[in-house]
Amino acid sequence: MATQSRHARPFSIWTRMLLWKQIAVALVLGLALGVALNLTGNVAVAGTIKLVGDAFIAAIKMLVVPLVFVSLVCGMTSVAEIGRMGRIGVKTLAFYLGTTAFAVTIGLLLGILLEPGAGVALVADGAVDAKAAPPFGKLLVGIIPANPISAAADGNVLQIIFFAIIFGLAINLAGAVAQPIRGFFEALNAVIMKLAEIVIAFAPYGVFALMTWVAGTYGFEMLLPLGLIILAVYLGCLIHAVVVYGSIVAFMARLNPVRFFQGVIEPAIVSFTSTSSAGTLPVTMAAATRNLGVKNSVASFTLPLGATINMDGTALYQGVTAVFVAQAFGVTLSGADYATIVAAATLASIGTAGVPGGGLIMLSMVLASVGLPLEGVAIIAGIDRILDMARTTLNVVGDCACTVLVARSEGEVDLDAFNTPHVMAAPKLGTG
């Protein structure tokens, strides 16, 4: 009977598949089609297919501002004490900064060991401008939105976080009279989460299209000369994810790391193909709350903040690339230079926007910090999308690792949900 229905309705096999399996199948099929299109010289077709991916990314981005604001207001109104919110904030920032510095160090070590720039001899002619780090004081004041509506219109996540926190606090402080507002936000949150579910159901098609485009556009000939730097960045991201996040989840959060990695598959693949941690945010929030059992009171704060300032993959990439550029231009770096790169890449990654190619723009700041030639940026630009895929994935997985650890330390992880294999499925679009 089962066999008969399988033969009769192959489409139902697809619709009944768990979302992460659909996404994984889409990734592989997209890769295969992209390679085939590239080998047969049909790059333009890959460009056309990309439109489906662009539509998917636009649809998730559409949710970012309302989702961050509404879920964080709900998160705030569910945390009764202000002190607890402060504690969560301090833990989150400490985690984000600590793991980022670690990531650059891994990047530097891999750059030194694998020597990706050793065979590439280049001479600088000084044409690219460095991006300067914004002054710290200005950065802090900039978090306060003088106009919350324009913060929302610009999609400025830090300003939205700031406004949502004080708005949620004010609802708490206003007491009984504000109960209808609180109820309104809870209802709105349910609607937006439903909306997110609907959009996320299209993830397999978006992933398929974006993967086809990347594989179709980048031929092997283009990747080979810089193969070692690609290897170094991918290997570094893998080591950081497995060793650093795996240990944090296992030994600090005392949770099963295998379950953790299973639970982050959907945002990992969506970020891999979209190369935007800000754009992946709705998928990350859905995975953290559903698959990993993290309560909204923590996830609604740590994840938007992480998508904005926590970029371990970007920092790692900047470390590897700085060493690559030094090797390619025959510059010897001192111990002090390495320390400067760690500090500069940590800061640069905080300032990097969670958008495709954001890290490449900030790379000039890291190179300039130790006087490396900025032409390095132009060389990396040719293959940056490929590197961006790995680093964005690490950025997003890092946000999830932090969220799990902070939530666990606050007793805000639903262990049954965490230990249950995947719950995210394509939603049934009926009511209820």
Note the residues at the interface with ligand ASP (CB under 6 A).
Answer: 275-277, 311, 314, 352, 354-359, 388, 391-392, 395
Of 417, 357, 349, 355, the C-alpha closest to 386 is: 357
Q: What is the CA radius of gyration of the chain?
A: 22
The nearer residue to ligand ASP, 215 or 363, going by C-beta atoms, is 363
Distance CA 277, CA 164 (A): 20
Question: CB of 332 within 8 A of CB of 326?
Answer: yes
Of 155, 144, 130, 101, the C-alpha closest to 304 is: 155
The nearer residue to ligand ASP, 139 or 331, going by C-beta atoms, is 139
Distance CA 127, CA 114 (A): 28
Report, in Å, the least distance between residue 319 CB and ligand ASP: 12
Report, in Å, the least distance between residue 314 CB and ligand ASP: 3
Contacts of 34 by beta carbon, 8 Å cutoff, 6+ apart: 46, 211, 212, 213, 214, 215, 216, 217
The nearer residue to ligand ASP, 204 or 358, going by C-beta atoms, is 358
Report, in Å, the least distance between residue 380 CB and ligand ASP: 11
The nearer residue to ligand ASP, 357 or 427, going by C-beta atoms, is 357
The nearer residue to ligand ASP, 296 or 392, going by C-beta atoms, is 392
Here the tokens at position 323 are 């060493």
Report, in Å, the least distance between residue 8 CB and ligand ASP: 43
The DSSP line for 39-89 is: HTT-HHHHHHHHHHHHHHHHHHHHHHHHHHHHHHHHHHHH---HHHHHHHH
* Total Cβ atoms within 10 A of residue 155: 15
* Total Cβ atoms within 10 A of residue 424: 22
Of 6, 72, 32, the C-alpha closest to 303 is: 72
Report, in Å, the least distance between residue 292 CB and ligand ASP: 20
Distance CA 121, CA 246 (A): 38
Question: CB of 288 within 8 A of CB of 305?
Answer: no
The nearer residue to ligand ASP, 117 or 351, going by C-beta atoms, is 351
Report, in Å, the least distance between residue 82 CB and ligand ASP: 31
Report, in Å, the least distance between residue 197 CB and ligand ASP: 23
The nearer residue to ligand ASP, 67 or 79, going by C-beta atoms, is 67
The nearer residue to ligand ASP, 53 or 293, going by C-beta atoms, is 53
Report, in Å, the least distance between residue 354 CB and ligand ASP: 4
